[in-house]
Amino acid sequence: MRARDNATNASAQTAAISVTTNPTGGTCTTVPSVPAGLNSPAQSSNSISLAWGSVAAGANCTVKYRVYRGGAQQTETSSTSFTNSGLNADTNYSFTVSAVSEAGASAQSAAITARTRPVIVGGDKKVIGYFAQWGIYGRNYLVKNIDTSNSAAKLTHINYAFGNVRNNRCEVGLIQPSDPNTGVGGDAFADYTKSFAAGQSVDGVGDTWDQKLRGNWNQLKKLKAKYPNLKVMISLGGWTWSRGFASAARPENRQAFVASCIDAYIRGNLPVTDGAGGAGAALGVFDGIDLDWEYPAACGLTCGTPEESANFTALLAEFRRQLDLVRPGLLLSIAAGAGVDKVRVTDPATYHQYLDYINVMTYDFHGTWDPQTNHHSALYGSPADPSTGDQRSYNTHDALQAFRTRGVPAAKLNLGIGFYGRGWTNVSSTNNGLYQSGTAAPATYEAGNEDYKVIKTKSGSHFTDATARAHWLLSGNTFWSYDDPALIFEKMQYVKSQSLGGAFFWEFSGDDAEGSLAKAIKDGLQ
């Protein structure tokens, strides 16, 4: 009989079994216990991450874990975490986990249910632009230009910068040049008394002498009328006007301080100046309050003290309480420093509950305060970066992770874009100018700092750091680090992939007349 005939008469094969050999050479007799603490620390629109506690291995045993979804095994792994991908968006899934050794498998754990996130389209992402009070002067950038540049239709929010914090109150109505040494200063003229002619006005109608609200705030109100979904925030503080926060946030001062801010900016009660202002004059201009304290319990123009961390959290709680008493739905946000040294001294895990979102200032990581060139807004870190200490994590990804690992939901975080570049001159061409010695480059308003609309006109060679994802221009011996439209578009892909809330920028007047950078943000979030 031929072998072929023998095969014909053979029985069917048995079901396959999997045998895990014991690398220790001994005999494992201990069936592991059921893993505890199964949870889902993160979800995306198509994946769910799981984690659980480790199980002790018996003598001569190795322990692995089996993850089940809806009763079907998904993986066997030595790790105590697993990400199940390829899932449907906005859908509940049930998971269990068991432990297995050479002696056998434990029972499955109690099931947990986790839900994938819905798919978020670009229209649901925030696009926030800062309008600088003083931009109407030398920069000649008016509220109307937000519209004529086609930027207004791309925005969800505008932050008006800034309101002063002084003498434990929101100081409004002052007309006095800003003094960085004392914190005194204000420009009620720009805010609400300046008359804009018809050609300067959003709606083509000029101001009249007897209007109670003129200036930038009236123009913002007109812009909101043209774009009804647009929200406008008053941003308090900033670099120069933050010195008053430390005192205002103290327990004995914070309630009255917050009340003064809400009275001026939400109820709209303004001091009468040059015939403008009065009770309710600014009602309807602002939809919420943004705090730009630079920086609680850390160093900005001045250095803070440790107790400012708790005071900052309590201040946000008080703003939330009083805003909700006026009207539910009023917004509260902060602009937060992006350096881990600024983040670790505060308590984002506690304070984020009071906020609608956090604008993380992911720019100015490096500038001409550094003796050598570097990226001012890199997306990632680079092993080639010569920085040391905390500055090694001065990049966008690490900054956002500093908040996420402290419990802030990704959807509450907005990535920051600077509409300007940082520049050094007298720079060597070695390494295309990167990480080379230099001094502050000449610029239009401030050495070492130039608007995008100016830098884009400069000749030279353009480079992109393949690891850090950062762009620069070497123009002769001058190095400019800045975000161009292509890199901004790439950063918006990061926003979407990380399920962040959106993006914001500082500030409108740095863009070109066509609003190219604002367009790159909106297009990238589609």
Torsion of CA 387, 391, 393, 396, to 10 degrees: -110
Which residue, 355, 390, 362, 394, is CA-closest to 494?
362
Say if CB 237 and CB 159 are below 8 A apart.
no
**Residue 445: CB atoms within 10 Å:** 11
| CB burial of residue 238 (10 Å; 0-12, 13-18, 19+) | buried
Spatial separation of the C-alpha atoms in residues 462 and 471, rounded to whole Å = 7
Spatial separation of the C-alpha atoms in residues 161 and 154, rounded to whole Å = 20
| Catalytic entry in 294, 318, 450, 507 | 294
Spatial separation of the C-alpha atoms in residues 481 and 477, rounded to whole Å = 13
Spatial separation of the C-alpha atoms in residues 50 and 82, rounded to whole Å = 5
At 109, give phi and psi (nearest 5°).
-70, 170
Concerning whether 490 is annotated as a catalytic residue, the answer is no
Q: How far is CA 394 from CA 131, 203, 318, 415, in A?
A: 26, 43, 31, 14
Q: Given 3-state DSSP classes, what are the helix, strand and coil percentages for the chain, each rounded to the nearest 5? A: 25, 25, 45
Which residue, 132, 163, 155, is CA-closest to 223?
155
Q: How far is CA 156 from CA 54, 122, 237, 320, 473, in A?
A: 45, 11, 22, 21, 31
**E-only strand ranges, 177-252:** 186-187, 231-237
CA terminus-to-terminus distance, the chain = 72
Angle at 208 between CA 148 and CA 265, to 5 degrees: 70
- Mind telling me the catalytic residues? 294
